[in-house]
Structure 1
Amino acid sequence: MTSPSIVEFFAFIERGDMAAVEKSLRNDTNLCNAENELGLTALGVAAHNGQLEIVQVLLNFGADIHSVSNSKVACIPSNTALHAGIAGKASRELVEFLLDQGANVDQPDSSGYTPLHIAAFGGSEEIASLLLAHGGNQENHPGSERSPLEIAREKNNKEFLKAHKEFLKGKVQ
């Protein structure tokens, strides 16, 4: 089998075709760090689409967990797989896996937002709790205008606010 095109490879990722992704990587390991025509990384797309097994395979083939996309999409900042997963369909298990693999919980995206900021916009209580437990910085990052807590209050993200409250209770005890 010849190596698939970047477009084909990303189509395999997006539809969750694990066998085709793995076969493609066996033929060309460089695909693990590929970017599509929009500047999005394979790892970021897999995380955004909630494809835990594909994220695992990409990392096993050498994908860089710290890679930052070069997004050419106006509404998508250049970001890491952790940001992309939180903004997308990532489960708690996928986010936890990325963190366990060394994803930087405080890495800002090109808009100055950390993963905790992204969770504040609309993330679940369990993902917010996970990020807080992994040391997510609750303050403003130099590139952002608001803290995650300020964003959560503005967006009325009750799940984030609950996670934050529970986290603070645990810190006080």
Structure 2
Amino acid sequence: MTNQAFFKAIETGDKVQVEQILRNDPNLCNAENEHGLTALGVAAHYGHLDVVELLLNFGADIHAVSRSKLTYIPSNTALHAGVAGKASKEVVEFLLKNGAKVNKTDSSGYTPLHIAAFDAGAEITSLLLTHGDGEGILSAGDQRSPLDIARERDNKEFIKAYEEFEKREAK
């Protein structure tokens, strides 16, 4: 079984095939595809919760940073990839409950919250805010906060969730 077949099974959410491949070579749980993207990141990006769980059960590193060779995808974690790929709330929540770091920056200086500011909904935004530690508000690259980005993009759901979170925290 080739690396390409493994990643195709991940992309399509074929848990049975992914598990069969991992049983033959458990080390593939931390493999990268030809673009430098991690197996866990690809599964999170495509929103396949059962494959994300499977990869973690086989020992995938939840903190692994991809070595993206694609100019339009920064090197990032599975949490970044899940938020960017508009993964379900369940995938993002699962990653967070399993120790994904919400304030880790990608190679562009963005945290998952910055990524969410572009077009994520209120549920993902609230999850990230709840699991954050208040650090990493500004990106390293351009010093825009997630709220600045959300306002520029007119992401009303993000703005509303952010403002509601700040009100709760102020109490």
Give RMSD over aligned pairs. 1.1
User: Contact conserved, 2:6 with 2:21, CA < 8 A, in 1?
Assistant: yes
Cα distance, 1:145 vs structure 2: 2.5
* Matching residue within 97, 100, 107 for 1:103: 100
Cα distance, 1:168 vs structure 2: 1.1
* Matching residue within 87, 91, 114 for 2:88: 91
Q: 1:144 to 1:27 in 2, by over 3 A?
A: farther
User: Which residue number corresponds to residue 75 of structure 1?
Assistant: 72
Q: 1:113 to 1:70 in 2, by over 3 A?
A: same
- Write the distance in 1 (CA, Å) between the matches of 2:158 and 2:107: 22
> For structure 2, which runs of at least 5 residues remain unmatched after alignment?
none
User: Contact conserved, 1:38 with 1:72, CA < 8 A, in 2?
Assistant: yes
User: Which residue number corresponds to residue 167 of structure 1?
Assistant: 165
Secondary structure in 2 matching 1:23: helix
Cα distance, 1:142 vs structure 2: 3.1
> For structure 1, which runs of at least 5 residues remain unmatched after alignment?
none
1:145 aligns to 2:143 (yes or no): yes
Count matched residues: 170
Alpha-carbon deviations, 1:56-111, whole Å to 9, x = none?
00000000000000001110000000000000031111101000000000000000
User: Which residue number corresponds to residue 110 of structure 2?
Assistant: 113
Structure 1 residue identity aligned to 2:52:
V
User: Contact conserved, 1:116 with 1:137, CA < 8 A, in 2?
Assistant: no
- Write the distance in 2 (CA, Å) between the matches of 1:51 and 1:144: 32
- Write the distance in 1 (CA, Å) between the matches of 2:144 and 2:112: 13
Alpha-carbon deviations, 1:35-60, whole Å to 9, x = none?
00000000000000000000000000
User: Contact conserved, 2:108 with 2:140, CA < 8 A, in 1?
Assistant: no
Cα distance, 1:11 vs structure 2: 0.5
Structure 1 residue identity aligned to 2:46:
N
The percentage of counterpart residues that share the same residue type is 65
User: Which residue number corresponds to residue 158 of structure 1?
Assistant: 156
Q: TM-score, normalised by structure 1?
A: 0.95
Secondary structure in 1 matching 2:127: helix
Secondary structure in 1 matching 2:22: helix
Structure 2 residue identity aligned to 1:37:
E
